[in-house]
Amino acid sequence: MDLIGAAAAWFMDPAHWNGANGVPYRLAQHVGISLVSIAIALAIALPVGLYIGHTRRGQALAINLANVGRAIPSLAAIAIVVPFTQMIDPGKGFNLYPTIIAMVVLAVPPILVNTYAGIAEVDRDLVESARGMGMTERQVLRSVEVPIALPVIVGGLRSATVQVIATATLGAIYGLGALGGFIVEGVAQRDDGRLFAGVFLVAALALLAEGGLALVQRRLSGPVSAAAAAAAAQAS
Amino acid sequence: MIDWGWIADHVPAILGRAVQHLEFAAIALVVGFAISFGLALLSVRYRPAYPVVAGLAGILFTIPSLALYSSFVPVIGLSLLTVEIPLVLYTLVIYVRNIVAGFDSVPAEVLEAADGMGYTRMQRLRAVELPLAVPLMVAGLRVASVSTIGLVTISGILGSSFGGFGFFIFERPNFATEILVGAVGSIALALLADALFGVLQRRLTPWSRLNVELEMAKTGRSAAQATAAV
């Protein structure tokens, strides 16, 4: 099994670096789709998670919804919206929109749950003393709860991002291209070089995101949350 | 938009695919558990093995399933094994972590008490450690069942004798009714398995209702499971 050799030879061919089916274009496509999906998921999950964590209202509902979202197979999530989005736009509605919708469904649960859990796990004494100092609820959330919960929130963002990068390959079944395109074409054409080049690129991108966000998370769990905790403790 | 006539004409085929979907998933869940149980016992008894086992299983998990399914075809051809080998490999990381976590959750005092009462290692394992580890094992079974049911859908890429409900998703990409039947069927099976094992899990740990749900939501598809959805 000379898969590495086949993939290396595939990468060496300049033809594979040009045009809409080339590595740079599809890599950019993959990153773009992932970023858009994550941005939409953040816009939904962050406010809801902050609200639930701060007020402790609707916890059970949020958790159960997150578990339902977690259980939905991504390929099924793509397939189930295809007929509907296709009515709106026969081109992008066949692959781009369904993939993004499925990626949002995939990314919301980890971000939502980590945001909620991170905020809810902040020491109640700190929150009470912040209130005692005359902070408004908004200030409590912004200057006490969020800074302390930030590493946990970023942890949710991290697992969501890695999952989205890996799973966005499924869009290629519907002709989306991106990095999954190499895998689907490699399978269809029995071209091992192309197939494993695709696998390698997806895995590398996922690991890069994982490493990068892990680094951010570690930075945040150091000084920022410690300082916030110390400030709040001092205030009390 | 939905061709109800097609659905009415294909009830036996739909039921057949449902059975196939559950069969593929069940075989992988049972075989995967047996292998993982061995690996977990090894990891608990001989701790240095754990990072190696978990690391290797984690790497397997990052291979996109579209690729893994197809890469066994040249080697073993198309048979039940072509689906089951990848499915079993994907369950390992989920199971091993949860089984090891289950054993780790047994308090040291409990183990000492058992030792003090003169239990042999085997007796202690069977009568003390296993029962206490069961709730976390069931949590693992729940995550693995949902993940495996999703992955069976993708095995439709291997052709018309595979896929369970995924067959309907792959067969004719322009026929909405058939795609919806495949998608709704896969989702229904995954939700059903999640609910079923969720009930079992709550029965086993009635004292921590919401906590169990929260842990599930948090760990369900976390880092380890990263790429399995593919």
How far is A71 from A163, CA to CA, in rounded Å? Answer: 14
Q: Is B160 helix (H, G, I), strand (E, B) or coil?
A: coil
Residues in chain A closer than 8 A to B214 (CB atoms) = 63, 113, 117
| Type of residue numbered B86 | P
Size of interface A-B (CB pairs under 8 A): 161
Is residue B121 within 8 A of residue B100, CB to CB? The reply is no
Of the partner residues A67, A80, A206, the one whose CB lies closest to the CB of residue B220: A67
Confidence (pLDDT) at B58:
76
- CA B104, A116, A31: angle at the middle one, nearest 5? 95
Distance from CA of A234 to the nearest CA of B (A): 31
Whole-number percent of chain B with pLDDT over 90? 53
Confidence (pLDDT) at A23:
93
Of the partner residues A110, A183, A198, the one whose CB lies closest to the CB of residue B222: A110
Residues in chain B closer than 8 A to A83 (CB atoms) = 1, 176, 179-180
Of the partner residues A74, A173, A195, the one whose CB lies closest to the CB of residue B67: A195
A98 at interface of B, judged by CB pairs closer than 8 A: no
Which residue in B218, B219, B225 has the most chain A C-beta atoms within 10 A of its own C-beta, making it the best mutation to test that interface? B218
**Domain positions in chain B:** 4-225
Q: Is B220 helix (H, G, I), strand (E, B) or coil?
A: coil
pLDDT tier at B222, thresholds 50, 70, 90: very low
Q: Which residue has the higher pLDDT, B230 or A60?
A: A60
Is residue B171 within 8 A of residue B160, CB to CB? The reply is yes
What CATH number labels A3-235? 1.10.3720.10
Confidence (pLDDT) at A149:
92
Confidence (pLDDT) at B224:
35
Confidence (pLDDT) at B1:
75
Residues in chain B closer than 8 A to A85 (CB atoms) = none
Q: What is the mean pLDDT of residues B181-209?
A: 86
CATH 1.10.10.10 for domain B4-225:
no
A91 at interface of B, judged by CB pairs closer than 8 A: no
Q: B95-125 pLDDT, tens per residue?
A: 998 999 899 988 889 999 999 999 998 899 8
Closest residue on chain A to B175 (Cα)? A83
How far is A35 from A30, CA to CA, in rounded Å? Answer: 9
Asked if B63's CB is within 8 angstroms of A79's CB, the reply is no
Asked if A79's CB is within 8 angstroms of B182's CB, the reply is yes
**Domain positions in chain A:** 3-235
CA B219 to centroid of chain Cα atoms: 14
Helix segments in chain A, DSSP class H: 3-12, 23-55, 59-71, 74-88, 96-120, 124-132, 137-139, 146-167, 178-188, 192-219, 225-235
Q: How many CB atoms are located within 10 Å of the residue A110 CB?
A: 31
How far is A157 from B177, CA to CA, in rounded Å? Answer: 35
Is residue B69 within 8 A of residue B82, CB to CB? The reply is yes
A113 at interface of B, judged by CB pairs closer than 8 A: yes
Of the partner residues A67, A196, A210, the one whose CB lies closest to the CB of residue B213: A67
pLDDT tier at B34, thresholds 50, 70, 90: very high
Inform me whether the pLDDT recorded for A10 exceeds 60.
yes
Closest residue on chain A to B148 (Cα)? A73
A86 at interface of B, judged by CB pairs closer than 8 A: yes
Residues 6 or more apart in contact with residue A56 via CB below 8 angstroms: A120
Asked if B182's CB is within 8 angstroms of A70's CB, the reply is no
Closest residue on chain B to A108 (Cα)? B217
Q: A188-232 pLDDT, tens per residue?
A: 888 888 988 998 898 889 889 988 998 998 888 765 555 555 555
A143 at interface of B, judged by CB pairs closer than 8 A: no
Closest residue on chain A to B225 (Cα)? A163
How far is B82 from A120, CA to CA, in rounded Å? Answer: 45
Q: What are phi and psi of A29, to 5 degrees?
A: -60, -45
Of the partner residues B169, B217, B220, the one whose CB lies closest to the CB of residue A79: B169
Question: By C-alpha distance, which of B219, B218, B216, B193 is closest to B205?
Answer: B216
ipTM of the complex: 0.78
Q: What are phi and psi of B92, to 5 degrees?
A: -55, -50
A170 at interface of B, judged by CB pairs closer than 8 A: yes
Which residue in A37, A57, A70 has the most chain B C-beta atoms within 10 A of its own C-beta, making it the best mutation to test that interface? A70
Is residue A146 within 8 A of residue A119, CB to CB? The reply is yes
Note which residues in 6-45 of chain A have CB less than 8 A from chain B.
Answer: none
Q: A17-58 pLDDT, tens per residue?
A: 988 889 999 999 999 999 999 999 999 999 999 999 999 888
CA B143 to centroid of chain Cα atoms: 6
Q: How many CB atoms are located within 10 Å of the residue B169 CB?
A: 31
Whole-number percent of chain B with pLDDT over 70? 89
Q: How many CB atoms are located within 10 Å of the residue B171 CB?
A: 14
Of the partner residues B70, B210, B221, the one whose CB lies closest to the CB of residue A163: B221
CA atoms within 13 A on the CB side of A215: 6
Residues in chain B closer than 8 A to A70 (CB atoms) = 146, 194, 216-217, 220-221
Q: A163-184 pLDDT, tens per residue?
A: 899 889 999 988 888 999 999 8
Residues 6 or more apart in contact with residue A89 via CB below 8 angstroms: A97
Q: B3-28 pLDDT, tens per residue?
A: 899 999 999 999 999 999 999 999 99
Of the partner residues B64, B190, B220, the one whose CB lies closest to the CB of residue A183: B64
End-to-end CA distance of chain B: 29
A189: which 2 tokens? 């054409």
Of the partner residues A70, A187, A198, the one whose CB lies closest to the CB of residue B217: A70
